[in-house]
A and B are shown apart, each in its own frame.
Chain A
Amino acid sequence: MTLTRRTFLAASAAAIGAAALATSGCASPATASPGRLTLWYATRGLSEAVLRDAVARFPAARLDPAAVGDGLKHRLLAVMSGGAYLPDMTMLGDDVASYFPDADQFVDLNTLGAARLAGQYLPWKWQSGITSDGVMIGFPIDIGPSALYYRHDLFAKAGFPSEPDDVARAVPTWDDYFRFGQELQRALPGHYLITDTKTVFTYSMAQLPVKYFDRQNRYLPDQSHVREAWDRALRAFRLGLTAGYAGSQDPGTSVDRHAAWNTGKELSFVNASWVTGELKESAPGTAGAWRVCRTPGGAGNQGGSYLAIMRACPRPQAAFEVISWMLSPENQPRTYLDAGLFPSSPAAFADPRLLEPEPFFGGQVTMDVFARSASEVKPAYFSPWDINISDAFTDELSNVELAGKDPDLAWTDARTAVERLLQRKGVI
């Protein structure tokens, strides 16, 4: 590509007669700051305090952390495409699997001695950063174990079980949760227990040991488990349990959800642990009223990031030292307290700082719930196309929920969209 580009550039420059431009043919640096180790991360995707310590602790590495707002991926794509100014280390999100087909752009962390650290991390998380060929691209940063968040005070007011253990006992499966929800809605009309159909689908899928592909990247012919999750989501909608702020991650509709937290309209919801920060930030007036307990249907994971070392890095071993120190079990508790990033190392769960009673949750030690959830997550294989596929399904679900689309048509359209997408990508 470089040769073609240079030829093209020279040709166009010559054609217009600007000889001056042709003289700046110096080689562009492979990495963003030669001589330093640059680390790109999303703001608050790593603990600032830990980063500062890392800079001080590894002076020889000359670490240069750079926070990038939304658009880290865009910049990463540009530099990878251009083959220059690449970061030495970069954060990858839960779409890490989409980089698996291009694993050769990254350093296999196993060659740097990562394997001996494997035992310190949750096996399913460790595995999710490794391609089906065994190349390790992503070192675990944080995870998103799911839990049921609920309003202790409102449950109690309605005369329902309100202690975490009691609630967990009352709603072991999704069907139990739906029944519970219906009864609760009769007592407290106009309130919701499920954010939207997307939540039900996403967290149902998160609880399964199998997603859309097998480990050899073959599309699974039997998608009945997907159908099950789909039907469950629709059932929640038909029973009137969903609030219907579709796309609650998008700024346009999260206002609704945050306000619902404030007014108590959303009584409970299933979500991964990272929502706690959002909850505290947008609804501080409800402090003390929330509790968490085990997710109906079992533990699932949603979200979580990784750190990767790019192939262009001239000192991968030094980079690995920095990464493994920053993300070590010793530093993870600090990261959690500082930035709300849930540890991916079980040893961190036992840290006494994380076992303090939390005022926001009325003195509950939420780590108990989340730690248990984290260790119960079933390892599953994520393909590079999982996010696209699940989007196709959740988009159609919100069509049914908000636009009144016929559910059978929606299912067919979702399947068709997925098949067309995979055909275009050459997968099936």
Chain B
Amino acid sequence: MSLLDAPGATVVTAESAAPPRQGRRGRYLPYYLAISPFFLIFGVFWLYPLGYSFFVALQRWDGIGPMHFVGLENFRFLATDATFWHSILNTLLIWVMSVVPMTVLAMLIAIGLNSTIRFTGLYRIAYFVPNVTSTVAMSLVFASIFSGQFGILNWVLGLFGVDPVPWLTNPWGIRTAIAVMIIWRWVGYNAIIFLAGLQAIPDEVHEAARIDGAGPVQTFFRVTLPLLRPVLLFSVLMSAISGMQVFAESQVLVGNRGGPEEAGLTMVLYFYNQAFYYNDFGYGAAIAWGIFLVVVIFAILNWRLIQRPERRRAGEVAP
């Protein structure tokens, strides 16, 4: 059960789930009370920044002095800003370059974790630990690993006769290095999620496949993987949302402006750049809204990808 089920299960209506309370209005009272702590805090601390962000996007403001109202000027600039579109492309590229290897590796690791009985606790901890440390703290470590002429990675590659790879001075090297940092951080986390999914599959299913004569690889692709689909897609969706907001990895590896060809300039880094480095809060706020739009569109696309196959599957054999 749990993670394996399709998202979007039915919702219990108030009539069937809640006992009738004093009168009509009173019926919903527990629900409002339940969500009120969250929304109270949200209203006080997040609603104002939201309005502020919108308000500032309509101004020309350096963050210190007075504001000048400029209407939708900042948004007009944004639409024609090649760097912004470039940053969207970078973010998407880096995301694809990180999510694909990460998912594959996480799946492999999950299978490994599922198959190893000895040391399994140690393995799980070891794989999860990278998720626990902050990116900024590990920045110099990764910088010295990826350094072009004197880094460890190139030194190791050199032992195998490979020429030094310009990780941090070549646009694709930069994207790869950032993607590797992201993979490093999240592969264990996702492996644990996949592991839970794997362990929820009853042994009978695999037994049945084995009896039918399916080899391990066939079993995996024909039986296991389809059963893991909800978990997989959930993981991809979560990584999509956080992938759109990549900031620290880029900033620590290639600095505030994304390096050569601005290859590492992600959307959030560009926003940060404009607002805090170029003292242009108005434009920065407009960029933030642009990012939001991109994230929403991307999330909706992702969601559609999850929903449609599931609706199709609903008509097929239930797990």
Contact A77 B146 (CB under 8 A): no
A interface, how many residues as a size bin? 35 or more
Interface residue A3 (Cβ < 8 Å from any Cβ of B): no
Contact B252 A101 (CB under 8 A): no
Q: Which residue of A lies closest to B145 (CB)?
A: A255
Contact B150 A260 (CB under 8 A): yes
Q: Per-residue CB proximity of A362-393 to B under 8 Å, as 1/0?
A: 00000000000000000000001000100100
Contact A246 B149 (CB under 8 A): no
If A16-B36, A73-B276, A246-B169 touch, whether A255 touches B64 (CB-CB below 8 Å) is no
- The smallest beta-carbon distance between B241 and chain A, in angstroms, is 25
Interface residue A425 (Cβ < 8 Å from any Cβ of B): yes
Binds B, one of A4-12, A269-277, A300-308: A4-12
Alpha-carbon distance between A367 and B280 when the two chains are bound, in angstroms: 40
Alpha-carbon distance between A18 and B166 when the two chains are bound, in angstroms: 57
Q: When the two chains form the complex, which single residue of B147, B254, B260 contacts A403, counting CB atoms closer than 8 Å? A: B260
Interface residue A48 (Cβ < 8 Å from any Cβ of B): no
**What residues of chain A lie closer than 8 Å to B207, measured between beta carbons?**
none
Contact B261 A260 (CB under 8 A): no
- Residues facing B in A177-226 (CB within 8 A) are none
If A244-B169, A250-B255, A388-B278 touch, whether A105 touches B64 (CB-CB below 8 Å) is yes
Binds A, one of B42-50, B110-118, B185-193, B229-237: B42-50
Contact A256 B149 (CB under 8 A): yes
- The smallest beta-carbon distance between A237 and chain B, in angstroms, is 13
Q: Per-residue CB proximity of B251-280 to A under 8 Å, as 1/0?
A: 011111101111100000000000010111
**What residues of chain A lie closer than 8 Å to B146, measured between beta carbons?**
252
Binds B, one of A31-39, A108-116, A288-296, A394-402: A394-402
**What residues of chain A lie closer than 8 Å to B74, measured between beta carbons?**
424
Q: Which residue of A lies closest to B263 (CB)?
A: A403
- The smallest beta-carbon distance between A2 and chain B, in angstroms, is 13
Contact B143 A255 (CB under 8 A): yes
Q: When the two chains form the complex, which single residue of A80, A101, A421 contacts B278, counting CB atoms closer than 8 Å? A: A421
Contact A8 B276 (CB under 8 A): no
**What residues of chain A lie closer than 8 Å to B254, measured between beta carbons?**
247, 250, 252-253
Contact A426 B68 (CB under 8 A): yes
**What residues of chain A lie closer than 8 Å to B169, measured between beta carbons?**
244-246, 253, 402
Interface residue B217 (Cβ < 8 Å from any Cβ of A): no
Q: When the two chains form the complex, which single residue of B63, B68, B260 contacts A399, counting CB atoms closer than 8 Å? A: B260
Alpha-carbon distance between A254 and B63 when the two chains are bound, in angstroms: 30
Interface residue A238 (Cβ < 8 Å from any Cβ of B): no
Contact A253 B60 (CB under 8 A): no
**What residues of chain A lie closer than 8 Å to B44, measured between beta carbons?**
9, 12-13, 16, 18, 21
Interface residue B309 (Cβ < 8 Å from any Cβ of A): no
15 contacts between A and B (CB under 8 A): A12-B43, A80-B64, A98-B279, A99-B64, A101-B65, A245-B148, A251-B143, A253-B254, A253-B255, A256-B147, A384-B279, A395-B257, A398-B259, A399-B261, A420-B77
Residues of A near any B CB (own CB < 8 A):
5, 8-9, 12-13, 15-16, 18, 21, 73-74, 77, 80-81, 98-99, 101-102, 105, 244-247, 249-256, 259-260, 263, 265, 384, 388, 391, 395, 398-399, 401-403, 405, 417, 420-421, 424-426
10 smallest CB-CB distances across A and B, nearest first, come from A259-B150, A250-B255, A102-B65, A402-B260, A255-B147, A403-B261, A102-B64, A403-B260, A252-B253, A402-B169
